[in-house]
Amino acid sequence: MQLLEKEWKNRQEQKLSGEKPGAIRQAVILAAGGNSCFSCPVGLLKLDDRPVIEYLIQELNEVGIERICLVCGFEKEQYQEYFKNREIVLAENLRYLWTGTMASLACAKDFVDGDFLVVESNQIMDVAGLERVMKNPSADACLLVNPSGSSDEAYVELDEEGNIFRISKDIRQMNRVDGELVGVCKISYGLFQRMLRYYEKNENPLLNYEYVLENIGRIFKIPGIREDDLKWTVIENEALYQKARNWVYPGIQKKNRIRRKNRAREVFCSCMGVREEEVQEFHVCGGMTNTNFYVRTETDAYILRIPGAGTSVMIDRNNEARNTVLSQELGVNVPTLYFSPETGIKVTAFIPQAETLNGKTAQWEGNIRKTTEILRRLHTSAIPMENEFSVEREYRRYKEQVDAMGGKHYPGFEEMDRFFSHLQDRLKLLGVKSCPCHNDLVPENLIKDGKGTMYLIDWEYSGRNDPMWDLASHLLESGFSRETELLFLQTYFQGPVPEKELEKIRIFSICQDVLWSVWTRLKELKGENFGTYGTDRLARARQLKEEYEQIYEN
């Protein structure tokens, strides 16, 4: 208490809540404690096909968290194995059996370099709780809910200004109960340093961090943010685990879907100047890294694109906006009605009776004719795309970001990295052309209207490039057989396929698999889950490498 009294005098009873919070980009997850009810850490208990910790990380990413430190202890090897290819910093509380949560939080002191969130791993909640804490104007804040009746609830009493006055698990110590403490707090860097200084003289290793907050709250104003409608549960035993799996988690998923849909609806109305009551139909209609919505109003139908988290770092929206207009003027793109380079939000006209190609229909001869026609039109056009798409530059950019984040590459990557460099030298000898290109020819980016007109959509990666890149992309992404590949190429070239161009297609196919495997690795490090997509592409790149070497290097 002497430290607190000194702080009190130095500040002359001045509260420190005037410090303005910065943008929070880091979080500490406390996951060191064990539970005798389970053989694994609570964070690794499955909800559906993924564990609790994965869901928490997804929600942290959704509210803007980019760096995460997880403090482990009990069965630490399970967390080490789970995160071995992920950009999650693991800190260890070696004394987790004999210490409280403040000891675990102190283990993250070398990770924390600014304001951060602290989240306990033995719980699930809908993202609204995290958002409330993040958006609160105070530099520090703790999330509260109505008392849940769990066996380990920490009651909170607030002062007249809504700041934390008392925390106790003994309700008999409370003058009144304003809520139950949820394991989510926003802690400013200054407050954290004071918590650490307070803890330096600790003589009770079982101390929990919330009681440190309570004590320092005599100096700091730490608001208690109550979220009455929060879907939440702690997981302390088998009964609460079943409650989480069977009731709370499905409810959270439903609530989150509705919330995201309603927000997208509001975005559409704002962008297009449409009143809410004019929207008659609104639903999700696909998207891999972005989310697309079908919108129907009283007079028209549209497609709204909401960019995925983190895509602004990987995609130049100004280039996309400019090339979207150019491709529309060329007549190969659907009408774009709204585009914001700042947010990446886009609204296009809905194509009636639209048919989206897939790997099978892309290989039908009628669609091959339409696809090659639209590609020739693009490649031979003089539309003034200003940006150059360089596979070598994009690859190095993604690879450097993975390395900068301390991420591990997929097994076998080093071999393909060397071969990628070798192929760049070969391309220079073959000669690389430069013309307007789309650069992302997955079959789903080709749609056909009811009259048979083909359109090429989603120009996120567009720019000047060698036209063989587009051909390689479409053949690879659609899974063309060698027979239909020959038909496609002869249709595009309107005759025999030049040998030099065919070799470039083979090279670009390998480069694309390597490029998109590194792209996937980067997305995974940012918290997204693509399953085996990245490793599958790298494995196919090795197979294509062997085929290329047999043909061109033997």
pLDDT per residue over 177-209, tens digit each?
998 999 999 999 999 999 999 999 999 999 999
Model pLDDT for residues 497-537, shown as the tens digit of each residue: 999 999 999 999 999 999 999 999 988 877 677 778 999 99
Write a three-state SS string for 45-72: CECCCCEHHHHHHHHHHHCCCCEEEEEE
Q: Is residue 230 part of a domain?
A: yes
Q: Is residue 277 part of a domain?
A: yes
pTM above 0.75, yes or no: no
Q: Per-residue confidence at 21, pLDDT binned at 50, 70, 90?
A: low
Q: Per-residue confidence at 408, pLDDT binned at 50, 70, 90?
A: confident
- Indicate if 363 and 342 belong to the same structural domain: no
Q: Per-residue confidence at 220, pLDDT binned at 50, 70, 90?
A: confident
Distance CA 240, CA 371 (A): 55
The pLDDT of residue 7: 40
pLDDT exceeds 90 at position 465: yes
pLDDT exceeds 50 at position 412: yes
Count of the separate structural domains present in the chain: 3
Helix (H) / strand (E) element for 455: namely strand 454-456
Contact of 465 with 439, CB cutoff 8 Å: yes
Residue 288 CB neighbours (<10 A): 12
- Indicate if 96 and 51 belong to the same structural domain: yes
Segment 18-38 shows an average pLDDT of: 84
- The SS3 assignment for 507 reads helix
Distance CA 94, CA 104 (A): 9
Average pLDDT, the chain: 90
Model pLDDT for residues 113-148, shown as the tens digit of each residue: 999 999 999 999 989 899 999 999 999 999 998 887
Distance CA 540, CA 533 (A): 11
Domain boundary among 254, 282, 300: 254
Residue among 199, 257, 187, 247 at smallest CA distance from 22:
187
Segment 371-388 shows an average pLDDT of: 97
- Indicate if 365 and 452 belong to the same structural domain: yes
Residue 362: which CATH number?
3.90.1200.10
Percent of the chain with pLDDT over 70: 94
- Indicate if 196 and 314 belong to the same structural domain: no
- Indicate if 186 and 234 belong to the same structural domain: yes
- Indicate if 508 and 523 belong to the same structural domain: yes
- Indicate if 374 and 504 belong to the same structural domain: yes
Angle, nearest 10°, between helix axes 533-552 and 413-430? 50
Residues of the domain holding 377: 352-552
Residue 122: which CATH number?
3.90.550.10
Model pLDDT for residues 30-84, shown as the tens digit of each residue: 999 999 999 999 999 998 878 999 999 989 998 999 999 999 999 999 999 998 8
The pLDDT of residue 277: 92
- Indicate if 207 and 272 belong to the same structural domain: no
- Indicate if 124 and 171 belong to the same structural domain: yes
**Please, what's the b/e burial string for 354-371 (b: 16 or more CB within 10 A of its CB; e: otherwise)?**
eeebeeeebbeeebbebb
Residue that the structure tokens 């659609």 belong to: 478
- Indicate if 344 and 373 belong to the same structural domain: no
Model pLDDT for residues 312-329, shown as the tens digit of each residue: 667 899 999 999 999 999
The pLDDT of residue 6: 43
Q: Is residue 17 part of a domain?
A: no
Q: Is residue 5 part of a domain?
A: no
The pLDDT of residue 312: 66
Q: Is residue 16 part of a domain?
A: no
Domain boundary among 195, 227, 254: 254
What one-character-per-residue DSSP string does 108-144 give?
Answer: TTTT--S-EEEEESSEEE-HHHHHHHHH-SSSSEEEE
Domain boundary among 212, 237, 254: 254
Contact of 508 with 383, CB cutoff 8 Å: no
Residue among 141, 111, 115, 147 at smallest CA distance from 129:
141
Residue that the structure tokens 């700042």 belong to: 342
Higher pLDDT, 424 or 526: 424
Model pLDDT for residues 488-507, shown as the tens digit of each residue: 999 999 999 999 999 999 99
Please tell me which of 149-153, 170-174, 476-480 the model is most confident about, judged by mean pLDDT: 476-480
The pLDDT of residue 527: 66
Q: Is residue 10 part of a domain?
A: no
The pLDDT of residue 1: 34
- The residue type at 281: E
Distance CA 255, CA 260 (A): 9
Residue 333: which CATH number?
3.30.200.20
Distance CA 161, CA 110 (A): 34
- Indicate if 288 and 390 belong to the same structural domain: no
Residues 6+ apart with CB under 8 A from 403: none
- Indicate if 469 and 493 belong to the same structural domain: yes
pLDDT exceeds 70 at position 271: yes
pLDDT exceeds 80 at position 249: yes
Residue among 289, 269, 291 at smallest CA distance from 280:
269
